[in-house]
Amino acid sequence: MRRGVSPTVAGIAAFIIGLIVGAVVMYAIAGMGAAGGVAREEYEKLLKENEKLKAKIEELSKKLQAAGAKEITLKGWIIAPHPPSEYRLKNIKIAAEILNKWLKIMGANVRIKIDGEFFVRPVEWGEYKNKFYLAAKAGKAPHIYLTGHEDIGFLADNGYIIPLDDYIKEYWDVVYYDVISTLWNAVKYKGHIWGVPQDTEVRPLYFRKDILRKMGWSEEEIEALPKKIEKCEITLWDLLKIAKEAKDKGLVKRGILHRVKEGYDYFQFYLAFGGRLWDPDKGKMVFTKHAWKKTLEWFHKAVWEYGVISPNQFSGDWDKDFHGPFTKGEALFLSGGSWHKGEWISKGLLTEESFKENIGFALHPCGEKGMKPVTLSHPLVYTITKQAEKDGVAEIAFILITMVTDPHLNAFHAVKSSHLAILNSEISDSRYTKDWFLHDVAYMLKYTTFIPNHPKWGDYSRIVFNILKAVESDKSLTPDKAFETLLKEIQRTLGDAVIIEE
Amino acid sequence: MGRSLRRVMGSALAYAFILAVTLPVILLYVLLFLTSFATDMEGIVPKGFTLKNWEFIVSGNIRVPGAEYQYPNLYLVMGNTFLLAISVAGAEMFLASLAGYAISRFRFRGRSLLMGTILVLHAFPGVALLIAIFYILNALGLYDTLVGVFIIKVALDLPLAIWIMKGFFDGIPWDLEMSALIDGCSRFQAWLRVILPNVRNGLMAVLIFGFLSGWSEFIYILTFISSQKYWTLSMLVYAFTSGEYFYINPGVTATIAIIYMLPVVAFFLFAQKYLLRIQIAGKGVV
C-alpha cells in the first residue's frame, strides 16, 4: 500500500510543512492572550518540528534547483451546489499560488498550475457524479476529486481513487493530527483511508421563535427548547403535537418541512427511533426493523393524522416548499442543514438580525423517551484519483490537499458557507469564532452520525426515499404495508450487503 | 360593393386569426426584451429601465449568481457556439451534397436499402444513443471535446440532409447532366459546375438546418463536455435558468437568452428566401 514519495515532492512538502507549522506556532502564540496561554512544551514541540523541517527545505531547494523548468498541471473537480461554497475551489487556487511563490523564492523551476472545474449551478450531485464516471471511463478524470464521503466505497471498489494511508502517515504531523478525530470515520473503508475531509455540517431542526411566541411560549421556554430536545424531554411525537397546535391556531400554513428531493436528511428520523445504518465491524449496512416501523408510522401520522407535513412535500420545489415558507414564517419547523443559515442570508431571505430574532435551532428530537436526539453529517472529502497516479502527480496533488487543509483557509470556506470546522485549531480561528451560529451548533457534532461508505448505499437510500414518498402521498398505504414493502425491497436488492436486525 | 365588403371581412378575419395565433409568441419575445432592460418586473410591466443587465457584454465576464466565481467568458462561449454551428453546417452541406447526388444518380447494390435505413437512422432519438455514443467517443479519444460533439451532430443530422439533397438532385433533368458530359466534363466537373449551381437552394437549406442544429445543440454538450471552456451558449442559458430561483437574475437571464437568440434570427432573416424555395420532393430516379 505504501507509495514512495519522490525527493522533489518530499522537499516541497518539507517546505510547506515548515510554513504550516510556523503558522501554527504563530497562531498558538497569537492565541495565548485570549486563551490564557499555550503550554510551553507544546510551543517547544512545534518549534522543534519547525527546525527539523527547515533542514528538509534546504535539501529540497538544492534538488529543485537541479531540476529543469517544469509546469505540473493538476486537474481538480470541485462541486458546490450552493454557490457560497465557492471557497472549495478558491482555496485550492490560493494554496497553489502560495506554493508557487515559495518555489520561486527557493529558485526552483517547478510551477503548479491548477486546471480547476467548478461545478456550480446548474450542476447537481447526480450529474456531477455521472460526469466523473464518464470522464474516468474516458481516461480524463481529474487528479483531485471532491465528493461526498459516502461515494468512497464505490470509488474505491472500482479503482477510481487511491488509498491515502501512507501519505497521511507521512504528513500526519503537518496538519492531519489536527483533524477532528470523528471525521476520519467518514473516510475509512475496508481498513484504509481514502480521502481527506474538506468540510462537514450538522443538520439542525430549525424552529420559528416568533410562532412559538404567538402560541404563548415564554422567552425562557423558547430558549430552553434546544436543551429539552437534547435531554430527550421532547420527542418526535411531541413535535407533531406542537406543529399541529400551531396549524390549528392558524399561525402557520405548514407544520413541518423536510427536504423536497431524495437525500439523506430523513434518515435522521430513523436514527432518532434507535435505528442503525452501518456496522463498522462487519462493513455492512444495517436495517433496524423496529426503527423503520416507527419511522414509517411517524411520517404517515404526520401527513394523514396530524396534517403537519404536506402529502406533496417530496415532490415539492426547494424554494416554494422549503426555503420560502419557513423564512416567511409560514411553517413552524424545518429539518434542514447548518449551511441553510448562510444560504438564507446570502439569498436575502433573512438578515443576520432577523435570523437571530426569529429562528432557533436544535437537534432532531429523540423518537421516544429514553432514546437519543440525533443529527447527521455528510462531510465532503478530497480524493486522489487513479488518474493522478497514472499521470505521476498523486504526491503533489496530495501536498496541495495538505496545504488546503489549513485552519485559516478552511475557516474562509466554513464561515462563508456555514459549514463546520474540520480542524481543532480552526475552531479558534478569528473568523470562525466571530460566527456565533457555527459556534452554537458545534455541540451537535457529539450526536452526529455518518451515512455508510458502502458501494450499495445509493440503492438503500433510493428504496427508502421511494417508500417514504409513497407513505406521504398515499393515505391508503399503511405503515405496516409500507414496512413490508420496504423490507422486501431492501432484502431483494441488497441481499448480504445489509444486516437485518430487530 | 357587397363582394368587396365580403372580401375585406374575409381578410380581416384571416388577419385576426393569424394575430390571435401569433400574439402569445410575439408577447414572449417582447417580454424577453422588456425584462432584459428592466430593473424589475411587476407582473409583465417593467418597474423601471436600466442597462445594468447588459453590462457584462463589455468584458464578457459573467458571475455565478450568489458567488464571486465566474462562468466561462461570454465571448469564448459564443466562439464555441459559432464554431460548432458553422462547422456542423459546412460539413453537412458538403457530405449531403455528395451523398445525395450519388443516391440520386447512381444505381448500385443495396441502394434502396440504404435509402430506407438512412431515414430510420434519423428516426432514432439522440437521447437513446447516449451510451453508445459515449463508447464511440471514448474509443476515439474525443470525450470532452467539441470535435466529438461536432462528429455526433453531423452523423445524426446527415440522413435528413442527404434526403433533402437527393430531392433537389432528383429535380435536375438528366439531360442537363448528359449535355455536360457530352461537352467533355468529367462526372465530378458536371457535378461541381452544372449540377451544384442548380441545387443552390437545397444547399442553402441544408446549411441553414445544420447551422440551427449546431447552434441549438444542448444534450450532447451537457453529457459529453465536462470542461467549462468548451461550453456553448445553450449551457450558459441552462445555467441561468435552472436551479433554485432565488439565485436567478431575470434581467441577466433574459439578456443571455437574447444574445443566444439574435444571431439565429439574423441568420434566419438572411436565409429566409432560400428556405421558402425548398422543394424536397423530386422526379429523379427512385
- What pLDDT is recorded for position A57? 46
Q: What is the CATH number of the domain that holds B222?
A: 1.10.3720.10
Cell output for B250: 431575470
Contacts of B255 (CB under 8 A, 6+ apart): B36, B53, B54, B56, B57
Continuous H helices in A283-338: 289-304, 318, 324-327
Q: What is the pLDDT of residues B188-242, one digit of tens each?
A: 888 888 888 988 888 988 998 899 999 999 999 999 998 999 999 999 888 887 7
Contacts of A29 (CB under 8 A, 6+ apart): A38, A43
Kindly state whether residues B155 and B23 are assigned to the same domain: no
Using 50, 70 and 90 to split pLDDT, how confident is the model at B284? Answer: very low
C-alpha A127: how far from its chain's center? 19
Place of cell 457530405: B95
DSSP-assigned states of every residue in A394-409: HHHHHHHHHHHS-HHH
Using 50, 70 and 90 to split pLDDT, how confident is the model at A26? Answer: very low
The yes-or-no verdict on residue A250 having pLDDT over 90 is yes
- What pLDDT is recorded for position B66? 72
Q: What is the pLDDT of residues B143-154, one digit of tens each?
A: 999 999 999 999
Kindly state whether residues B15 and B107 are assigned to the same domain: no
Cell output for A64: 529543485
The yes-or-no verdict on residue A39 having pLDDT over 70 is no
Q: Does B55 reside within a domain?
A: no
Using 50, 70 and 90 to split pLDDT, how confident is the model at A47? Answer: low
Phi and psi of A254, rounded to 5°? Answer: -130, 145
Place of cell 467549462: B228
Parallel, antiparallel, or unpaired for β B41-42 and B45-46? antiparallel
What's the DSSP call for residue A121? T
Find residue A278's DSSP bridge partners. A285
| Residues in B lying within 8 Å of A, measured between beta carbons | 64-69, 134, 137-138, 141, 143-144, 223-224, 226-228, 238-239, 242-247
The yes-or-no verdict on residue B124 having pLDDT over 80 is no
CB atoms < 10 A from the CB of A240, how many? 21
Kindly state whether residues B245 and B126 are assigned to the same domain: yes
Structural domains present in chain A: 68-200+378-448 (3.40.190.10), 205-377+456-501 (3.40.190.10)
Looking at beta carbons, which residues of chain B come within 8 Å of A139? 138
Inter-chain touch A318–B67, beta carbons under 8 Å: no
Q: Does B24 reside within a domain?
A: yes
- Selected for mutation to probe chain B from A87, A115, A125, A134 (highest B CB count within 10 Å) is A134
Tell me the mean pLDDT in the region A154-171.
Answer: 92
Q: Does B281 reside within a domain?
A: no
What's the DSSP call for residue A496? G
The yes-or-no verdict on residue A32 having pLDDT over 50 is no
Kindly state whether residues B39 and B88 are assigned to the same domain: no
The yes-or-no verdict on residue A255 having pLDDT over 70 is yes
Q: Does B57 reside within a domain?
A: no
Kindly state whether residues B134 and B253 are assigned to the same domain: yes
Kindly state whether residues B103 and B163 are assigned to the same domain: yes
Q: What is the pLDDT of residues A280-296, one digit of tens each?
A: 778 889 999 999 999 99
The distance of A247 to chain B (nearest Cα, Å) reads: 27
Of all residues in chain A, what percent carry a pLDDT higher than 90? 53
Kindly state whether residues B33 and B92 are assigned to the same domain: no
Nearest CA to A360 among A485, A224, A244, A248? A224
Using 50, 70 and 90 to split pLDDT, how confident is the model at B1? Answer: low
Kindly state whether residues B33 and B156 are assigned to the same domain: no
Q: Which of A18-22, A364-368, A387-391, B57-61 has the lowest mean pLDDT?
A: A18-22
Q: Does B144 reside within a domain?
A: yes
Number of structural domains chain B divides into: 2
Kindly state whether residues B141 and B36 are assigned to the same domain: no
ipTM confidence score? 0.75
Nearest CA in chain B to A343: B66
Q: How far is residue B137's CA from residue A22's CA, in Å, rounded to a whole number?
A: 49
Inter-chain touch A86–B68, beta carbons under 8 Å: yes
Q: In terms of residue numbers, what domain contains B11?
A: 2-50
Q: How far is residue A208's CA from residue A252's CA, in Å, rounded to a whole number?
A: 10
Looking at beta carbons, which residues of chain B come within 8 Å of A134? 134, 143, 223-224, 226
- What pLDDT is recorded for position A216? 95
- What pLDDT is recorded for position A141? 94
Q: What is the pLDDT of residues A86-115, one digit of tens each?
A: 899 999 999 999 888 877 777 777 788 999
Mean pLDDT, chain A, whole residue set = 85
Angle made by CA atoms A281, A271, A481, in degrees to the nearest 5: 105
Kindly state whether residues B140 and B44 are assigned to the same domain: no
| Candidate from B66, B134, B245 with C-beta closest to A134 | B134
Residue type, A462: R
- On whether the CB atoms of residues B168 and B186 are closer than 8 A, the answer is no
- What pLDDT is recorded for position B121? 75
- What pLDDT is recorded for position B129? 86
- On whether the CB atoms of residues A17 and A5 are closer than 8 A, the answer is no
- On whether the CB atoms of residues B146 and B84 are closer than 8 A, the answer is yes
Tell me the mean pLDDT in the region B47-72.
Answer: 86
Phi and psi of A275, rounded to 5°? Answer: -75, 155
Q: What is the pLDDT of residues A368-381, one digit of tens each?
A: 999 999 999 989 99
The yes-or-no verdict on residue A308 having pLDDT over 90 is yes
The yes-or-no verdict on residue A214 having pLDDT over 80 is yes
Inter-chain touch A83–B65, beta carbons under 8 Å: yes
Q: What is the dihedral of CA A297, A298, A304, A305, to 10 degrees?
A: 100
- On whether the CB atoms of residues B284 and B176 are closer than 8 A, the answer is no
Mean pLDDT, chain B, whole residue set = 86
Tell me the mean pLDDT in the region B137-144.
Answer: 92
Q: Does B67 reside within a domain?
A: no
Say what angle helices A87-105 and A394-404 make with each other, to 10 degrees: 110
Continuous H helices in chain B: 2-36, 56-59, 74-105, 111-123, 130-140, 146-170, 174-182, 187-189, 196-198, 200-215, 219-224, 233-241, 250-276
**Higher per-residue confidence, B90 vs A262:** B90
Cell output for A190: 475496508
Find residue B45's DSSP bridge partners. B42
The yes-or-no verdict on residue A209 having pLDDT over 50 is yes
The yes-or-no verdict on residue A30 having pLDDT over 60 is no
| Candidate from B68, B143, B247 with C-beta closest to A121 | B247
Q: H or E element: which one contains B185?
A: none
Nearest CA to A468 among A202, A269, A242, A241? A269
Tell me the mean pLDDT in the region B252-270.
Answer: 87
Give, rounded to a whole angstrom, the gap between the first and last alpha carbons of chain A. 39
Continuous H helices in A328-406: 339-346, 352-358, 386-390, 394-404
| Candidate from A80, A135, A323 with C-beta closest to B246 | A323
The yes-or-no verdict on residue B282 having pLDDT over 70 is no
Q: What is the pLDDT of residues B179-193, one digit of tens each?
A: 888 888 888 888 888
| Residues in A lying within 8 Å of B, measured between beta carbons | 77, 80, 82-84, 86, 89-90, 117-118, 120-122, 131, 134-135, 137-140, 318-319, 323, 346-349
Q: Does B77 reside within a domain?
A: yes
Kindly state whether residues B223 and B96 are assigned to the same domain: yes
The yes-or-no verdict on residue B91 having pLDDT over 50 is yes
- What pLDDT is recorded for position B285? 38
- What pLDDT is recorded for position A62? 55
Q: Which of A119-123, A219-223, A300-304, B277-281 has the lowest mean pLDDT?
A: B277-281
The yes-or-no verdict on residue A432 having pLDDT over 90 is no
Of all residues in chain A, what percent carry a pLDDT higher than 70? 86
The yes-or-no verdict on residue A276 having pLDDT over 70 is yes
Inter-chain touch B64–A135, beta carbons under 8 Å: no
Q: How far is residue A59's CA from residue A61's CA, in Å, rounded to a whole number?
A: 6
Q: Does B249 reside within a domain?
A: yes
Residue A395's Cβ-count burial label (10 Å; 0-12, 13-18, 19+) is buried
Phi and psi of A199, rounded to 5°? Answer: -155, 170
| Candidate from A84, A134, A135 with C-beta closest to B66 | A84
Cell output for A341: 443559515
Q: How far is residue A469's CA from residue A298's CA, in Å, rounded to a whole number?
A: 13
| Candidate from B137, B143, B238 with C-beta closest to A122 | B238
Phi and psi of A72, rounded to 5°? Answer: -105, 120
Kindly state whether residues B26 and B78 are assigned to the same domain: no
